[in-house]
Amino acid sequence: MLFSKGCTYAIRASLLVTTKEIKDGRKFIPIRELSDELDLSFHFLTKIMQVLTEAKIMESFRGPNGGVGLARPAREITLIDVIAAVDGLDLFSECALGLPGCGEKTPCPLHAAWAKRREDLHRMFEKTTLAGLAKELELNALRH
């Protein structure tokens, strides 16, 4: 898999928070509500949302009417922010063959081809914002 499970859960949950914030105008969404709708473990998602909170991507609030919400406007949060917080950015800097010395000066035979593509992937995830994905989701719903 490209991302760890935790990372895909983080992306899906962030996106759900975004749409709820935009459509319902709510500031904090209970993690229980997110885990129910995404059909995944509440406790596991809690741990992941804590990581996003530490990374200043989310804000959290305890007690009744509490939950998690975006710490910044959805158009200012990119997928790279979420990926970096959960999985780190090794994927976008590592050699495809895991060779530590591989680089421009001493390339492995796959270096040129992979470096080009991993940078393209990095740029794509950097350009993709939660607001953009939410918009995309809405358009898909309309088309069905």
Partner DNA sequence: GATATATAAGATACAAGAGTCTTAAATCTG
Partner DNA sequence: CAGATTTAAGACTCTTGTATCTTATATATC
Binding site for DNA (CB under 7 A): 4-6, 9, 29-32, 40-41, 43-44, 46-47, 49-50, 53-54, 60-68
Neighbour count for residue 10 (Cβ, 10 Å): 26
In the range 90-129, which residues lie near a copy of itself by CB under 8 A?
A: 90-91, 94, 96-99, 106-107, 109-110, 113, 117, 120-121, 124, 128
User: CA 92 from chain center: how many Å?
Assistant: 15
The torsion of the CA quartet 77, 92, 88, 34, rounded to 10 degrees, works out to 50
Q: Shortest Cβ distance from residue 104 to DNA (Å)?
A: 26
Site for a copy of itself in 28-57 (CB under 8 A): none
Q: How far is the CB of 7 from DNA (least distance, A)?
A: 7
Amino acid at 128: T
**Euclidean distance between CA atoms 143 and 126, whole angstroms:** 26
Residues 3 and 87: beta-carbon distance below 8 Å: yes
Residue 46 binds which of DNA, a copy of itself, none (CB < 5-8 A, kind-dependent): DNA
The listed partner (a copy of itself, DNA, none) that binds 89, CB under 5 to 8 Å by sort, is: none
CB of 127 closer than 8 Å to CB of 100 = no
